[in-house]
């Protein structure tokens, strides 16, 4: 969330941000509630002071008048505190909806059609045969079973089999090892999270329909709503909630592996075939917490994006980087780049990575602060980035590296994680008994 003082001093900027991000929010109502709440707080504080003064006086002598005044103050205080609670609830609900302002480098636009390509890398594949899509390749090579996935999971269900299962785990370990070497602390995070984590990271209330809610019957958590997180970003940032870090310990660099779950409610009818848009997937995420400094955060943003580009270049996958416009950037994001990898079956690029700078929008909600050199406490800046997400990344891997005989080359950087497998062939699919289920 934004600092209310900043909102008061930049009313038109905040309203313009709401407009550019396609967010309908009554900022004027927020300011009225804020003013009423502040006035009410002063009145409550004054009554409490008077009551305390009377209570101190009654320790020496008690009169009927003093007792009567104390009761009147108590009754009035009860009414005002009830009003304050109602106002406070409305205030926090409105504050949770206020979007972050955007960087001067963020293009103004209404939808993803106005995102701007700022970089491309790699040569698009040229096949001297008719290339197959990942669904056909997966079926021919016994790598993907969508039918059984639908049978067991339902719509958008899938099984990864044989070399595809190995390939997914190879990608995860390859990405984790790279991040560890670059100074990121690895975590395996909880997938089930409490409601405060989703409000704190900004997924609630706006994206509540995208999150799976779990009916938790365990006695330990009977009073808490539990949810399946769509990214380990939620658990990583919540790990630091209500903490004050030391400036000397910044930046904090963390990466995490986790299963992820998304309802995809907002994508009904889109990408219904194959592995592009599914309900559950594996992901390696990276987070940086740094000083409250826009210029420094831009340096860390470039570092995070650079790691993704390094990974894709080592995998040999052609990609492009997009500067995301205001209408597609999301409420909490200050600056955002998506990375899209070329997918031959789509004859186009598909999103595989997303790098975001949220400044202090999340850390204010989660109360993550640090002490500066003067001892003052300031909210940290938070940045996040998808390092690798599978099975979506398998689409370009299978399709770009297919050969005329229907086999698939495995990128060299993944060989150490593939148990000696360097190529996925039809022969292996038919004869390699160690992978057979039956």
The residue from 238, 354, 390, 407 that is catalytic is 354
Question: Are 81 and 146 contained in the same domain?
Answer: no
Write phi, then psi, for 13 (nearest 5 degrees).
Answer: -65, -45
Question: Are 128 and 172 contained in the same domain?
Answer: yes
> Is there a catalytic annotation at residue 354?
yes
Residue 209 falls within a domain, yes or no?
yes
Q: Residue 298: which domain range?
A: 112-435
DSSP H helical segments within 141-250, as ranges?
146-152, 162-181, 195-201, 233-239
* DSSP secondary structure string for all residues of 253-275: EEEEEEEEE---GGGTTSS-STT
- Angle between the 64-97 and 27-58 helix axes, to the nearest 10 degrees? 160
Q: H or E element: which one contains 83?
A: helix 64-97
Residue 102 falls within a domain, yes or no?
no
Give residue-wise pLDDT tens across range 31-47: 999 999 999 999 999 99
Question: Length of the chain, please?
Answer: 438
Question: Are 73 and 188 contained in the same domain?
Answer: no
Predicted pLDDT at 410: 98
> Is there a catalytic annotation at residue 38?
no
Predicted pLDDT at 218: 72
**Domain tally for the chain?**
2
The residue from 48, 81, 351, 425 that is catalytic is 351
Q: Which residue has the higher pLDDT, 7 or 206?
A: 7
Apex CA 275: angle with CA 269 and CA 279, to 5°? 65
Question: Are 90 and 185 contained in the same domain?
Answer: no
Please say which residue of 45, 71, 97 terminates a domain: 97
Mean pLDDT calculated for residue range 69-86: 92
Q: What is the CATH number of the domain that holds 21?
A: 1.10.287.40
Mean pLDDT calculated for residue range 290-298: 97
> Which band of pLDDT confidence, cut at 50, 70 and 90, is reported for residue 438?
very low
> Is there a catalytic annotation at residue 277?
yes
Q: Which residues of 348-359 are buried (b: 16+ CB within 10 A; e: fewer)?
A: ebbebbbbbbbb
Predicted pLDDT at 270: 67
Give the CA distances from residue 213 to residues 101, 154, 229, 230, 263, in Å, rounded to whole numbers and listed in that order.
30, 17, 9, 11, 10
User: DSSP secondary-structure letter at 231?
Assistant: S
User: DSSP secondary-structure letter at 430?
Assistant: H
Question: Are 219 and 75 contained in the same domain?
Answer: no
Question: Are 215 and 294 contained in the same domain?
Answer: yes
Predicted pLDDT at 430: 57
Give residue-wise pLDDT tens across range 136-181: 999 999 999 999 999 999 888 999 999 999 999 999 999 999 999 9
Among 66-70, 111-115, 149-153, 384-388, the range scoring the smallest mean pLDDT is: 66-70
Answer whether residue 30 shows pLDDT above 60: yes
For residues 256 and 172, the answer to whether their CB atoms sit within 8 Å is no
Write phi, then psi, for 409 (nearest 5 degrees).
Answer: -80, 145
For residues 286 and 384, the answer to whether their CB atoms sit within 8 Å is yes
The residue from 51, 277, 320, 346 that is catalytic is 277
Among 146-150, 224-228, 363-367, the range scoring the smallest mean pLDDT is: 224-228
> Is there a catalytic annotation at residue 377?
no
Share of the chain above pLDDT 70, in %: 94
For the chain, what is the mean pLDDT? 93
For residues 89 and 291, the answer to whether their CB atoms sit within 8 Å is no
> Is there a catalytic annotation at residue 392?
yes
Predicted pLDDT at 347: 95
Share of the chain above pLDDT 90, in %: 84
Q: What is the CATH number of the domain that holds 168?
A: 3.30.930.10
Alpha-carbon distance 332 to 233, whole Å?
13
Residue 392 falls within a domain, yes or no?
yes
Residue 107 falls within a domain, yes or no?
no
Predicted pLDDT at 431: 58
Please say which residue of 53, 73, 97 terminates a domain: 97
Give the CA distances from residue 2 to residues 196, 200, 278, in Å, rounded to whole numbers and listed in that order.
17, 13, 33
Please say which residue of 28, 62, 97 terminates a domain: 97
Pairing of the two strands 192-194 and 159-160: unpaired
The residue from 356, 392, 399, 407 that is catalytic is 392
The residue from 262, 364, 365, 369 that is catalytic is 262
> Which band of pLDDT confidence, cut at 50, 70 and 90, is reported for residue 386?
very high
Residue 106 falls within a domain, yes or no?
no
Sign of the alpha-carbon torsion through 247, 251, 257, 259? positive
């Amino acid at each position: 969330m934004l600092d209310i003082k900043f909102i008061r001093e930049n009313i038109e900027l905040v309203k313009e941000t709401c407009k550019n991000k396609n967010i309908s929010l009554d900022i004027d109502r927020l300011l009225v509630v804020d003013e009423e709440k502040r006035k009410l707080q002063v009145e409550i504080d004054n009554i409490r002071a008077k009551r305390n003064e009377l209570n101190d006086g009654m320790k020496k002598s008690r009169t009927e008048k003093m007792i009567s005044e104390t009761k009147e103050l108590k009754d009035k205080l009860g009414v005002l505190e009830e009003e304050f609670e109602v106002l406070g609830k409305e205030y926090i609900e409105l504050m949770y909806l206020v979007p972050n302002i955007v960087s001067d480098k963020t293009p103004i636009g209404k939808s993803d059609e106005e995102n701007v390509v700022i970089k491309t890398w790699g040569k698009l594949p040229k096949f001297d045969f008719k290339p197959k899509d990942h669904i056909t390749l997966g079926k021919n090579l016994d790598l993907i079973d969508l039918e059984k996935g639908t049978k067991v999971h339902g719509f958008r269900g899938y099984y990864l089999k044989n070399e595809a299962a190995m390939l997914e785990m190879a990608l995860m370990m390859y990405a984790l090892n790279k991040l560890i070497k670059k100074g990121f602390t690895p975590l395996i995070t909880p997938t089930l999270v409490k409601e405060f984590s989703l409000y704190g990271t900004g997924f609630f209330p706006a994206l509540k329909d995208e999150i799976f809610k779990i009916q938790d019957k365990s006695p330990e958590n009977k009073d808490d709503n539990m949810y399946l997180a769509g990214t380990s970003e939620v658990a990583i940032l919540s790990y630091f909630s209500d903490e004050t870090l030391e400036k000397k310990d910044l930046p904090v660099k963390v990466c995490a592996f986790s299963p992820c779950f998304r309802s995809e409610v907002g994508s009904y009818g889109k990408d219904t075939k194959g592995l592009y848009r599914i309900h559950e997937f594996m992901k390696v995420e990276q987070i940086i917490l740094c000083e409250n400094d826009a210029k420094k955060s831009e340096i860390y943003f470039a570092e995070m994006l650079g790691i993704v580009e390094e990974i894709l270049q080592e995998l040999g996958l052609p990609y492009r980087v997009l500067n995301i416009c205001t209408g597609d950037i999301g409420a909490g994001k200050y600056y955002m780049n998506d990375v899209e990898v070329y997918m031959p079956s789509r004859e186009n690029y598909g999103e595989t990575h997303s790098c975001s700078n949220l400044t202090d929008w999340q850390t204010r909600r989660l109360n993550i602060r640090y002490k500066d050199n003067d001892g003052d406490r300031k909210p940290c800046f938070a940045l996040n980035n998808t390092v690798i997400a599978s099975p979506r990344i398998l689409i370009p891997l299978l399709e770009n590296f297919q050969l005329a005989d229907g086999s698939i080359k495995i990128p060299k950087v993944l060989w150490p994680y593939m148990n000696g497998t360097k190529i996925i062939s039809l022969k292996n699919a038919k004869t390699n008994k160690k992978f057979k289920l039956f």
